[in-house]
Amino acid sequence: MKKLSRGLPRLVPLAGVILVCMSQNAFADFTLGETTVGGMPVEARLYGFINGEIENVKALGGATPYNSRGRVTDGNSRIGFAGSIGVTPDVKGIWQIEASLNSFDQGGVNDQNQQFSLSSRNTFVGVRSEKFGQAVIGNNDSVYRSLVGSGGALGGNLGLTVYGLDVWNNTSAQMTGNPNSLFSRGEARYKNSVHYLSPEWKGLQAGASYSFDEAQTNNVNHGRYSFGLKYHIGEFAVGAGYDYQSNTGVDTAALAQGMGFRTTSVSGQSTSFAKILATYKFPTKTTVGAGYEYGSYGFTQFVPPSGGNFVASTINGSMKQGSVMVSVAQEITPKIAIMASYGKLGNLSNPTVGNPGDYSARQFSIGATYKVNEIFMPYVYYTKISNSSGQNVNLGQAPLFSNNSGTSNAFLAPGNSPQAFGIGLIARF
């Protein structure tokens, strides 16, 4: 790249020139400019993708069905600016500002009436060293997601560019990454947080994340932390993670009101997840993946006075639930790939409403991609979720809401089983 003799101020106009020219000469991870400060290198880059889908969706089986309809939706689009500032030959200051372009099809407002800002995705500042690793602070994915989840190459697909466990991540057919997903339900982007990733040593890398609860509403601390460990050798990769949420548990009131399974602030209780996952790519260009996650949800249930009990009381306990997921991706030609995944969310032990089997679910996704080139790709997919009567697992991107749509309390009625058939188009830059 051309060296900028006048330093950082030249990066800004250069960025404008590049944005104008992008349609004629675009490529993924766009370098905006390079210069030196005090003899140390400084660089900035632009990256992201626009991912749009046209699909038919429905979710039937529950008390308030979501009838069949067509829609245009977003596949987790984003734009980001990132860079580094040399401090020593080994240490760099690093920064990133990443904005969600979610719901660009609806003017940037989703079905829960949420709007997204310039720093709505991973935004941080920190330091990186080849010897000592990386530490950042800000609003960033926990290592449960970034190192061993849908935010990395092991658990996700990085904008449909790799074959991690969730081969259909960043589409409606994804299975991981959200509290209402079928697998990897402990993933989250931590606000007000600090994160550390170790250097990679002989294929082994570890990480940790902690999110401070500055608000501490009602004097309750909802601090959250996670750990991750990943190892790879050749075409084999394996990882494990743990996520802990303090003073968080099952919303038993919502459960009793038929609003489905969700968590909320519960003083004195905790929610935690542990998982293990692995992928392997065969010489036949076949990639397979498998994973298991175990969730533990604390709860406190209010018991009103009754005939033989004149004093109200509470019951404390925990609910347990496991999930499994498998996937396969086959490169048919250098341009064409077929991908499929299947997952099952098991019975929920000790539910306060209904039976353990009422909270199980299954999901199946299948489709194909056609790589026009490295930055432009159409794809087709089908996914079907089968929820039992008390469960409301939802589509991974642009979920369906049968109740209170357009509000922050929007939800999918328990027992509704979403499915989607769509054609997508992703353009990376």
Give kind and range of the element (H or E) at residue 35: strand 30-37
φ, ψ at 400 (rounded to 5°): -95, 140
Tell which residue, 1, 65, 27, 11, has the closest CA to residue 402.
65
d(CA 18, CA 32): 7
Q: Quick one: pLDDT band at residue 26, thresholds 50, 70, 90?
A: very low
3-class secondary-structure state, position 188 = coil
Fold type of domain 38-48+76-334: Porin (2.40.160)
| CB < 8 Å & 24+ apart, contacts of 235-238 | 235/280, 235/281, 235/282, 236/278, 236/279, 236/280, 237/153, 237/154, 237/278, 237/279, 237/280, 238/276, 238/277, 238/278
The alpha carbon torsion through 366, 102, 114, 65 (nearest 10 deg) reads: -30
d(CA 267, CA 254): 16
pTM: 0.88
Q: Quick check: 429 and 28 in contact, CB under 8 A?
A: yes
- If one counts every other C-beta atom within 10 angstroms of the C-beta of residue 130, the result is 12
Q: Quick one: pLDDT band at residue 21, thresholds 50, 70, 90?
A: very low
Tell which residue, 172, 279, 298, has the closest CA to residue 235.
279
3-class secondary-structure state, position 13 = helix
Mean pLDDT of 41-62: 95
* Helix-strand-coil split of the chain, %, nearest 5: 10, 50, 40
At a CB cut-off of 8 Å and minimum separation 6, what does 221 contact? 213, 246, 247
Tell which residue, 223, 202, 227, has the closest CA to residue 214.
223
Structure confidence at residue 109 (pLDDT): 60
Give the Cα-Cα-Cα angle 218, 223, 228 (nearest 5 degrees): 165
CA 291 to each of CA 229, 324, 418: distance values in angstroms, whole numbers, following the listed order: 14, 6, 23
| Residue of 44 and 117 predicted with greater confidence | 44
Place of tokens 């905006």: 32
Structure confidence at residue 405 (pLDDT): 86
Q: Quick one: pLDDT band at residue 367, thresholds 50, 70, 90?
A: very high
Q: Quick one: pLDDT band at residue 114, thresholds 50, 70, 90?
A: low
Give the Cα-Cα-Cα angle 227, 229, 231 (nearest 5 degrees): 170
Structure confidence at residue 278 (pLDDT): 98
Mean of the per-residue pLDDT values of the chain: 89
d(CA 416, CA 405): 15
Give residue-wise pLDDT tens across range 259-318: 999 999 999 999 999 999 999 999 999 999 999 999 999 999 987 777 777 777 788 999
Check whether 185 has a pLDDT greater than 80: yes
Check whether 5 has a pLDDT greater than 50: no
Q: Quick check: 325 and 343 in contact, CB under 8 A?
A: yes
CA 111 to each of CA 210, 264, 399: distance values in angstroms, whole numbers, following the listed order: 30, 20, 8
Mean pLDDT of 195-203: 97
List the alpha helices (DSSP H) in 131-192. 143-146
Q: What percent of the chain has pLDDT over 90?
A: 77
Give residue-wise pLDDT tens across range 370-404: 999 999 999 999 999 999 999 999 998 889 999 99
Which amino acid, 147?
L
Structure confidence at residue 2 (pLDDT): 37
Structure confidence at residue 18 (pLDDT): 33
Check whether 354 has a pLDDT greater than 80: yes
Structure confidence at residue 3 (pLDDT): 38
Check whether 32 has a pLDDT greater than 90: no
